[in-house]
Amino acid sequence: MGRALLSHLLLLSNQKSPRLCSSIVCHGRNQSSHFIRTEGATPSRLPLRTGANFRCNCTVSAPEAEASLSSSSPVKKRVVSGVQPTGSVHLGNYLGAIKNWISLQDTYETLFFIVDLHAITLPYDASELSKATKKTAAIYLACGVDTSKASVFVQSHVRAHVELMWLLSSATPIGWLNRMIQFKEKSRKAGDENVGVALLTYPVLMASDILLYQSDFVPVGEDQKQHLELTRELAERVNFLYGGRKWKKKGGKGGALFKVPEALIPPTGARVMSLTDGLSKMSKSAPSDQSRINLLDPKEVIANKIKRCKTDSFPGLEFDNPERPECNNLLSIYQLITGRTKEEVALECQDMNWGTFKANLTDALIDHLHPIQVRYEEITSDPAYLDQILSEGARKAADIAETTVNNVYQAMGFFQR
C-alpha cells in the first residue's frame, strides 16, 4: 500500500508540479536509498526504502500559488545568450545564434545581452566599443528579438556579472582554466605580450553570465561546449562547498545556490564556416573581410563575396563529403537562409554547377538580409528608443541577478550589506 501511494504521488508531482516531489517525506527501517531528479527542480533527496518493513508517512505541501493545479500556468524555463560587440555581426553569429533566439523567445523566458566585458579580453579599440555595443543591440532587434518576450541589455550595465565572477573565481581551480582549448588557441595567436589574465578567466565570466540568472538552458556552438561544461562543474562545486545545510546555517534558505544548466545545440547552423576556408569557423577576427558575410553588407558586396568564395572542382553539389568542406558549408548556408530541409536542398542542387548555385545563394542572402537592414536603419535613427530598451532590459536582469549574488555572498559568509 505504501509503495503504491508513493508511486502515485511521484507520478502526480512529475505531471503537475515537479516541486511537489521535494515535499514528500518517507520513513522506513531499511537504510538503502536513491535520489530522484525531477524535471525542472533540483535533485530531491527522496529516500526510497525497500524491504518487508517498509512504512511510508507521506505529506504533500505546496505554495499557495500551486494549490490549485488546474488554474496555475507553467513556469517557463530560462535561456540566456549573447554576442560580443567586436567587429561586425556576421552570418555565423546570425545563423549560429541570433536567428535561433527568435524561436526560443516564444517558448522560454529569455535574456539576450551584449557581452561587452568579454570584448576586452583581447586587444580592442576603446574608441569603438560603445558604438559597437549599441550597433549590436540594434541588430538583435532588427533580426526579430521581441522586447515584449525577451530582455535585451548590456552586460556591463548589470554589475552583478563582475561581482559573481570574482566570487566564482575563488572556487575555480587554476587547472580547470589551463585546460581550456580556446585559451590555448587565442593566446598562441595573440602572443604572450598581448595576453592578459582576463583571457584566462574568460570562462569564469561566462559561468557568471549563465549562473547569475539561474539559467536552465544555454544555446551554444560546438566550440563553446567546453566552457559550458566548466560552468556546470563550477555550479556543482559551489553548491557542494557553500549550499545546502551550510547555507541554511548562515540564515539562508538552503538547497542549491545555482541551477546546473544544459546545452541547447541547434542541429544545423551552430558552426558556419569561413568563405575562404571550409575548415575554419566564420569569425570577426579573421583578417580578411572576404571570409565572412556581414549582416549589414550592401548587396553588391554580398554578390562579390559569394562570387569569389572558395569552392572545388568536383561535379555536382553534395552535403557531408569530408573532401568537400566548402561545398557542405555553402549548401548549409543556403538551407538555413531559405528555410528548406537538407533533403530538399540536396535534391535541388545535386546536379547544379557552381555558377548557377552561387547566383541562387546570392539572391537568397540578399532577399533574407534586406528586411533586417531596413529595420536596423529604422532603429538606429531613434537613439532614445534603443537607450530605453537597454535600460529596461538591464533593470529586469538586475532584479534577478541581485537575488543570486546576494545569496552567494550570504552562503560564502560575507557580512551582509
Give 50-85 as a DSSP string: -STTEE--------GGGSSTTTPPPPPPEEEEEE--
For residue 230, being part of any structural domain is answered with yes
Is the pLDDT at 147 greater than 70? The verdict is yes
Give per-residue burial for 264-302: e unless 16+ CB within 10 Å, then b.
Answer: bbbeebbbbbbbbbbeebbbbebeebbbbbbbbbeeeeb
Looking up residue 313, the CATH number of its domain turns out to be 1.10.240.10
Tell me the percentage of the chain whose pLDDT exceeds 70. 77
358-372 pLDDT per residue, tens: 999 999 999 999 999
d(CA 312, CA 358): 13
Nearest to 44, CA basis, from 75, 69, 71, 10: 10
* Cα of 29 vs its chain's centroid, Å: 45
Regarding predicted confidence, which is higher, 8 or 236?
236
- Rounded to the nearest 10 degrees, the angle between the axes of helix 99-107 and helix 126-143 is 60
pLDDT at 8: 41
Average predicted confidence (pLDDT) for the chain? 83
Same domain (yes/no): 16, 158? no
For residue 417, being part of any structural domain is answered with no
Is the pLDDT at 335 greater than 70? The verdict is yes
Cβ atoms of 155 and 117 within 8 Å: the answer is: yes
Same domain (yes/no): 62, 180? no
Helix (H) or strand (E) holding 264: strand 262-264
Helix (H) or strand (E) holding 154: strand 150-154
Same domain (yes/no): 103, 13? no
Cβ atoms of 380 and 386 within 8 Å: the answer is: yes
Same domain (yes/no): 360, 248? no
Same domain (yes/no): 333, 212? no
Give Dmax over CA atoms of the chain in angstroms. Answer: 80
pLDDT at 179: 84
Residue-level length of the chain: 417
pLDDT at 370: 98
For residue 26, being part of any structural domain is answered with yes
Residue where one domain finishes, among candidates 66, 98, 120? 66
For residue 72, being part of any structural domain is answered with no
As a whole number, mean pLDDT of residues 92-96 equals: 92
For residue 62, being part of any structural domain is answered with yes
For residue 416, being part of any structural domain is answered with no
Cβ atoms of 379 and 388 within 8 Å: the answer is: no
Nearest to 214, CA basis, from 415, 36, 417, 40: 40
Is the pLDDT at 23 greater than 60? The verdict is no
pLDDT at 271: 79
pLDDT at 49: 36
pLDDT at 417: 79
Total Cβ atoms within 10 A of residue 99: 18
For 109-123, 171-185, 222-236, 373-387, which range has the lowest pLDDT when averaged over its residues?
Answer: 171-185
pLDDT at 129: 96
Helix (H, G, I), strand (E, B) or coil at 235: helix
Helix (H) or strand (E) holding 203: helix 197-211
Residue where one domain finishes, among candidates 41, 66, 91? 66
Task: Give 61: exposed, middle or buried? Use CB within 10 Å, 0-12, 13-18, 19+.
Answer: exposed
Instruction: Quickly tell me which residue has 529516500 as its cell.
Output: 47
Same domain (yes/no): 262, 388? yes
Residue 295 DSSP class:
T
Looking up residue 122, the CATH number of its domain turns out to be 3.40.50.620
Same domain (yes/no): 43, 126? no
Is the pLDDT at 407 greater than 60? The verdict is yes
As a whole number, mean pLDDT of residues 18-28 equals: 39
For residue 281, being part of any structural domain is answered with no
Helix (H) or strand (E) holding 126: helix 126-143
Tell me the percentage of the chain whose pLDDT exceeds 90. 68
Same domain (yes/no): 233, 346? no
The one-letter code for the residue type at 365 is L
pLDDT band of residue 184 (cuts 50, 70, 90) is low
For 54-63, 65-74, 243-252, 336-345, which range has the lowest pLDDT when averaged over its residues?
Answer: 54-63
For residue 276, being part of any structural domain is answered with no
Domain of residue 349, residue span: 289-380
Q: What are the residue numbers of the active site?
A: 186, 281, 284
Same domain (yes/no): 226, 321? no
As a whole number, mean pLDDT of residues 329-344 equals: 95
Same domain (yes/no): 258, 294? no
278-325 pLDDT per residue, tens: 999 999 888 899 999 999 999 999 999 999 999 999 999 999 999 999
Regarding predicted confidence, which is higher, 170 or 44?
170
Q: Which three cell numbers stand for residue 85?
A: 560587440
Same domain (yes/no): 162, 255? yes
Nearest to 147, CA basis, from 400, 402, 388: 388
pLDDT at 57: 40
How many domains is the chain built from?
3
pLDDT band of residue 227 (cuts 50, 70, 90) is confident
pLDDT at 221: 73
pLDDT at 74: 74
Same domain (yes/no): 363, 401? no
The one-letter code for the residue type at 208 is S
